[in-house]
Structure 1
Amino acid sequence: MDEARTLYDRSLELKRRVGDVQGEAPTLHQIAVLDADQGRVDEARTLYERALELERRIGDEAGKLATSIEMAMLDHRSGRRLQARQHLEEALEQARALRHAAYEARCLDLMGVFDRDEGRPAGARARWSAALALYRRLRMPGEAKEIEEELALLPP
């Protein structure tokens, strides 16, 4: 992880030096993912917010979606459940508006996780069933299998 972080930091420095804002945003996003995976929540949140700001500025709709989803997961893991849901609901609306089925499925999948973790199995079942239908339509068998396994673990 440290080697990856070093490489991303170098990449970020180069992108900034040449004024590559379109390359800077996804690099910030990836560094935030590394920080989140290492438990550096505050650092990750700051980087996601900077990435989101750049993505808005350059009109990178897919980047905004990806960053919003990651921020929702970060908030959920750190106990900020309300913020997590807000990020995810906004991302779901945006995915639907853009007709981006893969991100729509990912949002529904995570909403199912949130519902399960918050003791709402009926909500989890509904969200995961919708995500499963999308994953199947998109021919994403790995994601579909994971959802099927989660659904099988829910109480009837």
Structure 2
Amino acid sequence: MKKYFLVLALFFGITTYTNAQQKVPTATELTAKSIDAMDKRLKLNPTQKNIIYNYTLDMYKEQLAISKKQQNGTFTENDVARSYKLQNENTEKIRSILKGEQQTEYDKFVEEQLRGGKKKKKGKQAKEEEEEVVTGISGLILPAKTPN
């Protein structure tokens, strides 16, 4: 009886563990989601969409490779620098393809993405509270903790 209980508990544990693991999206899935969001916001023409898709797909492939290195424990400081460099290069490539108003909208889009997407407040609080937006390097600095 104890053996059956242990086998059942082991089976249940393994099943729970495998279901709890999140599926990592592919580079193609990430790219499609990103392009859809950009297209809605920037009104891309088909040529722009294709070129940006290729740039973004290449970036996500590299980002996922770096992420796998991090999971395997072979991640280095050079990988961090390479990751930031890829993002910056991709942003500049995309900006070079966009025209006029699209560039300013893209800058706003990127800034929102860095903040974690659009945040909407509902009701009375939305009118009373405005979220302070800090841009540039000062937005990355954590506030000093005050001792209790």
Scaled by the length of structure 2, the TM-score of the pair is: 0.30
Higher relative contact order structure (alpha carbons within 8 Å, sequence separation ≥ 6) = 2
Scaled by the length of structure 1, the TM-score of the pair is: 0.29
Of Structure 1 and Structure 2, the greater helix share is in: 1
